[in-house]
Amino acid sequence: MADRYLRFTRTAPGRFLTRRLGLPQPVALHRWSAERPTLGGPLLHLTAGRSTLDLPPVLARTGLAAGAERPAAIVLDATGVRDVEALAEVHAALHPVVRSVAESGRVVVLGSPPDPTDHHQAAVQQALEGFTRSLGKETGRGRTVTLVRLADAEAAESTLRFLLSPRSAYVSGQVVEVGSGDVIVPEDWARPLAGRIALVTGAARGIGEAVARTLARDGAHVVCLDVPAAEADARRVAESIGGTALTLDITADDAGARIADALPERLDVLVHNAGITRDRTLANMAAERWGSVLEVNLASVLRTTDVLLARGVLRGHGSPEEGPGGGGRIVVTSSIAGIAGNVGQTNYAASKAGVIGLVRALAPRAQAEHGVTVNAVAPGFIETRMTAAVPLFVREAGRRMNSLGQGGLPVDVAETVAWLSGPGSGAVNGQVVRVCGQSLLGA
């Protein structure tokens, strides 16, 4: 359903009225397209503290170059900030220039992992999180602000490319930690998934369809999995992207084995997207409504993941004959409801919070034992057929209650999944990235 308010605020009467009444003034976000693949402006690189990162070569490869005109993005390297006095350099660096960032621009703050042996350094590096989240709520005009904690600039190239591009249009106020891992530089950054096989559950429509199309755009052969009732739609999507359709009930006990049998060679990327809602307040929720949501959204994810890892179908390393290697990827769809909760969704919120628990516990072990990273995306209000059915005033509140003042699109989730799925993202593990425009609840 079209966002009529967003269109109204782009007219002269709309701008005048919303300004006078103090109403949100969202802007049309610059999302990736073949015609406009970059932010289209210069990058301003600033430093606070004494950094040891060699950033210029990595930043030069993001597609943004230094320039004198209004910056499309600012990168502030604050990895060397170790005491409260050095925090003043963060203010001094950004204070004069933050207003100059172009509409739909980016501010990326780079920090270091908090050092448990140095409580002064840990305190000021944690301070950067509060700073970043607050700045994201101040900038307006479609600008986003993100904090990246890292120790190695090269390992963070995939992340910086994503955050400094139109692909991250609906990701703001987030903290991403880049550790160590199997990072492979793609031969072609425009098709980083070339030669890889990805499976997307719930791929017949909505967010799942957008994920399948985006992974295919990036070069993957995509297996589009959905329930038998959605076979026609699953085949339609698969045929349009040169992929393969696979229909089965993901909650069946043998679902994992059937997926493994259908992918005898290997699987490089597993995207758990299938999910359902059965909303009621707890006092009015029948056991069937509770159980069905937990079964689809959480239990099936646990079972199929266990089977695919145990059978070695999903793996991060292989011979050249077995595939490109470079790390296997699991990306699971959580929700902002799993972080902040939601009225009438105790079942759904429990399932999506459970997904976060899965990611945090499995990620280090899967990486160490299988060479596979495990991450989650947590969408906020995304414009889908499901949200179009929400009552008008609730829908409008969902759209406006974030720093960007509008709902996201399925492609916003898909772009985030594609970043986490790439071979260059092997150092991003155990992360839960909210794709919510910096929701004012839980983010």
Do strands 328-333 and 372-379 pair parallel, antiparallel, or not at all (unpaired)?
parallel
pTM value? 0.95
Judged by DSSP in three states, 252 sits in coil
Residue 348 annotated among the catalytic residues of the structure: yes
Query: Which overall architecture, per CATH, does domain 197-435 show?
Result: 3-Layer(aba) Sandwich (3.40)
The CA-atom distances, in angstroms, between 31 and each of 104, 142, 415, 428 are 9, 11, 10, 23
Distance (Å, whole) CA 432 – CA 420: 10
Strand segments, DSSP code E, in 61-143 are 73-80, 106-111
DSSP state of 279: -
The CA-atom distances, in angstroms, between 416 and each of 200, 321, 322, 347 are 14, 29, 27, 25
Provide CB contacts within 8 A for 418, sequence distance 6+.
167, 193, 211, 214, 215, 218
Which pLDDT score, from 0 to 100, does residue 326 have? Answer: 61
CA angle (93, 170, 420) in 5-degree steps: 95
Distance (Å, whole) CA 23 – CA 281: 31
| Contact (Cβ atoms closer than 8 angstroms) between residue 147 and residue 174 | yes
| Contact (Cβ atoms closer than 8 angstroms) between residue 81 and residue 46 | no
Distance (Å, whole) CA 440 – CA 443: 6
194 closest CA partner among 418, 433, 427: 418
Distance (Å, whole) CA 20 – CA 298: 47
pLDDT tens for each residue of 416-436: 999 999 999 999 999 999 999
Superfamily grouping for domain 31-177? NAD(P)-binding Rossmann-like Domain (3.40.50.720)
Burial class (CB in 10 A: 0-12, 13-18, 19+), 134: exposed
Distance (Å, whole) CA 370 – CA 310: 9
How many C-beta atoms surround the C-beta of residue 244 within 10 A? Answer: 18
**Low-confidence residues of the chain: pLDDT under 50:** 318-324
Q: Which of 32, 170, 290, 348 is catalytic?
A: 348
**What end-to-end distance do the CA atoms of the chain give, in Å?**
25
pLDDT tens for each residue of 263-312: 978 899 999 999 999 999 999 999 999 999 999 999 999 999 999 999 99
Structure tokens at 272: 């758990």
Structure tokens at 407: 């709902």
Distance (Å, whole) CA 42 – CA 33: 19
Strand order, beta sheet including 174-177: 43-49, 73-80, 106-111, 144-149, 174-177
Indicate where the chain has its CATH 3.40.50.720 domain(s).
31-177, 197-435
Amino acid at 269: V
